[in-house]
Amino acid sequence: MKILFITSPAKPRKCGITDYLDLLSKELEKKGHQILIQTINSPEDFGTFAMDLSAIDLCSIQFSPYGFSSNGISGPYLNSFANALSRKKTHVVFHEIWIGAYPKARIKEKVIGWRQKREILKFIKLLNPSLVFGTNSATIDRLKREGIHAEYLYLFGNIPYFPKPSSSRKAHFRVAFFGTAYENFPYELLATWLKHFTKQKIELRVIGRQRGSMGLEKIRSMAQRHKFAISMTNELPPEKISCELQSCSIGVSSTPYDVIGKSGATAAMLEHGLPVLAYDDGDTPKESLFVPKKFKDQIFMINKDSSVEKLLKYIEKPRKHFFDGVAYTANKMLELVI
């Protein structure tokens, strides 16, 4: 099968979608499929899209509003693009959806989100894709409210497994922070949780490249207040990140639980067998929340008291083997689209 991926500008190791497509394409090529990738660098590229699609069996659109446009709005160019593809077999993977669709959204977010939603819904109507995918609970819930059925597609981790050299027992109880540290995560509640798990010194290990953010400052402040050790690796190649994850006892995802599925960093922690602490901010109805069955026993909500005892029991068990999420997602995608 000849598959064309249409995506936002390529930014290796700086954009999750770029890394996702790189790994997915290689996996599909191993299975004998031919892969092409076309980037959309500005909304105008949608309007001038004139690629010969006669030999393409499937067009896969990796959709992120702000990936295509600095303000998240592509305008009438998106409609032209939908018309150009409307006779081809297509599927759309929503890595992100319109903003402002949560209870405490600011007025500006709601206004921009209203425009984005109108644009996206019209795009889907004109395109009439064979399948629509979402990578997380919030996206699937928002689409469902608008009458659009979306299948769940697992977004795998962006760090392959590399065997770690054997070493002596760790002196610290090491806690992994991998991925963006979001400001609104309840770091003080997290500190209370961490103190339940061990009599060892707690070390907060901030792994990989970090953007300067209030979230990172809050991690530093938490460490200082509670006398946790803290260390940072800065940017590392994937093989060293894999070894870092293997050396940690648990991971923390500051991505809200309803959108945790769009975090490749969180997926990498889970795939490496780490139990992961997360937080539900209440933005999506509880009946719409889910995580992959494979990881149901690995995610623990810090705003649920019952999770403390479960985690204490869990961390005594041998670590799970690495889960090859890339192969899993490639197989699932092919299963659904062929």
Residue 306 pLDDT: 67
**What are the pLDDT digits (tens) for 237-252?**
999 999 999 999 999 9
Contact of 289 with 312, CB cutoff 8 Å: no
Residue 171 pLDDT: 72
Within a 13 Å sphere around the CA of 241, how many CA atoms are in the beta-carbon half? 22
Residue 167 has pLDDT above 70, yes or no: no
Say which CATH topology domain 172-314 has: Rossmann fold (3.40.50)
- Name the strands in the sheet holding 2-7, side by side, starting at the edge strand that comes first in the sequence: 34-39, 2-7, 58-63, 90-94, 131-134, 151-152
Cβ atoms < 10 Å from Cβ of 57 = 15
**What are the pLDDT digits (tens) for 209-234?**
877 679 999 999 999 999 999 999 98
Which of 41-45, 130-134, 141-145, 192-196 is the least confident region? Answer: 192-196
Q: What is the pTM of this model?
A: 0.94
Boundaries of CATH 3.40.50.2000 in the chain? 2-156+328-337, 172-314
User: CATH classification of 2-156+328-337, choosing from 3.40.50.2000, 3.10.20.30, 3.10.290.10, 1.10.287.130?
Assistant: 3.40.50.2000
pLDDT band at 285 (very low <50, low <70, confident <90, very high): very high
Residue 290 has pLDDT above 80, yes or no: yes
- Name the strands in the sheet holding 229-232, side by side, starting at the edge strand that comes first in the sequence: 229-232, 201-207, 172-178, 250-252, 276-278, 299-301
pLDDT band at 311 (very low <50, low <70, confident <90, very high): confident
Residue 209 pLDDT: 84
Residue 338 pLDDT: 79
Which of 34-38, 215-219, 308-312, 320-324 is the least confident region? Answer: 308-312
Residue 120 three-state SS? helix
